Amino acid sequence: LVHPSTRSRVEDDVRALRWLARAASLLMPRTCEVLDPTGLVEDFADKMLLSCDMMNEAEALRRLRRNFVGEQGVVFPEPLLSSSGVLVESFERGVPLNEALPSLDPETKRKVARRGLRALLKMLFADNYIHGDLHAGNLLLRFDGHDFDLVILDAGLVIELSPRDRRNFIDLFGAVVKRDGRRAGQLIAARATHRGGGEDDVEAFVDELDRLVKDATVRGVTLKDLRVAALLNDVLAACRRHRIRLEANFATTVVAIAVVEGIGRQLDPELDLLREAGPFLARAVVKGAREGW
């Protein structure tokens, strides 16, 4: 259920944020050319207002269910009835992950970590339709003998990357695999929605990305050794320093990855990110080549 006052309160908050964004743009025009506070607020407003409409969440659940048809062990509730203020879903049995965690044996923890990571990688690289709120409270474990289902709830926030930002994500992950941040930096700079600096600034950005990727992968690519979300946050900071603008959805996706990465590290810090991401990444690169990237 959506409380009758929820939408009006969100709209009040959005109006205040829009005013602040306009004020910031007037007071710091050069900085806001890159940070784009107006664009960030509009992206936030779109997501929050969509999440106030249960018909949007019902459609998101239907799409996620279609995307995961044939994927064993990952379950989304079925929307049965929806209006703008009400959503009736199938009841899904299960134990919240944060409650189940203390009693899981090491082997089950490894299986849960791998299944959750692979679900996120599929959303990112295969479907470009990402559940944006994958914290432990939205994940249930439903056991059936020696196997289990990972039940994913609350699809009120979903993310779709633009073709440019999706290519940037794929290039960044490819750069981590190859330890070649230089190439990723060149491609991101070439596709940026805004570049406020000159060629020297672009070259400095490319050098910084190359260093970031090499530093991040020097110890390995298990979840214990590689902080993916921290690396992506460093990339966003480098973009700001060198006046290269990325779309707001890029940052939102970084947050989604950070949440799943944190859960995965709790469950299995030895999980090999490269081994799990490799097949998804390879298929995404082949598909991109066919589409003329």
Active-site positions read 133
Whether 137 contacts 281, CB under 8 Å? no
- Decide the pairing of beta strands 87-89 and 79-82: antiparallel
Question: In whole angstroms, what is the distance from residue 111 CA to residue 227 CA?
Answer: 20
Give the distance from CA 222 to its chain's centroid. 19
Question: In whole angstroms, what is the distance from residue 188 CA to residue 49 CA?
Answer: 30
Closest by CA position to 97, among listed 150, 146, 156, 147:
150
Query: Which H or E run contains 107?
Result: helix 106-121
Report the SS3 class of residue 226.
coil
- Location of structure tokens 């089950």: 108
Residue 30 exposure: Cα atoms within 13 Å on the Cβ side: 3
Report the SS3 class of residue 162.
coil
Question: In whole angstroms, what is the distance from residue 190 CA to residue 202 CA?
Answer: 9
